Amino acid sequence: MEKQEFDKLIESNGSKNLGWKTFRLSEDFYNDREIALSEHWQKENIKNTGINFGQGILQDNFCEHKGHPFSIGGDVMHLKINNRDRFIVATIIQWLGTNVGFCWLQEAFKKAGYSITKNKE
């Protein structure tokens, strides 16, 4: 992929909180974990004034309250998240649903004393 094509993809997907390999989210390449993680990440990064700083999870992680935490105003955004940042993080979030990413998650949680189990339906 040429740099210009990749830059277009970053702008398009990043603005939607989507990562690089979106073909893996299609019916032809179905992976329920990747789809679930990608869809949940997209949903949680929609601006919503009623939640935290109202910018979505990724941007909210770079904001803080100055003064009383329940007051309106005085919030500071230390780092403005751009579409490239969104693209990179969304790629990693989706990767966590792959076999390799999921095994990595399981091992990390195992070291912390937790286990990931599938719900029986």
Residue-wise pLDDT tens digits, 36-93: 999 999 999 988 877 777 788 899 888 887 766 555 566 777 888 999 999 999 999 9
pTM for this entry: 0.85
Question: C-alpha distances in angstroms, 9 versus 1, 20, 31, 38?
Answer: 10, 8, 22, 16
Q: Taking a C-beta distance cutoff of 8 angstroms, is the pair 38, 30 a contact?
A: no
16 pLDDT above the threshold of 60: yes
Residue in 8, 5, 3, 16 with CA at minimum distance from that of residue 91: 16
Contact 89, 58 (CB under 8 A): yes
42, 16 Cβ separation under 8 angstroms: yes
Question: Residue 107's pLDDT band (boundaries 50, 70, 90)?
Answer: very high
Token digits of residue 8: 């277009």
Contact 14, 86 (CB under 8 A): yes
Q: State the average pLDDT for the chain.
A: 89
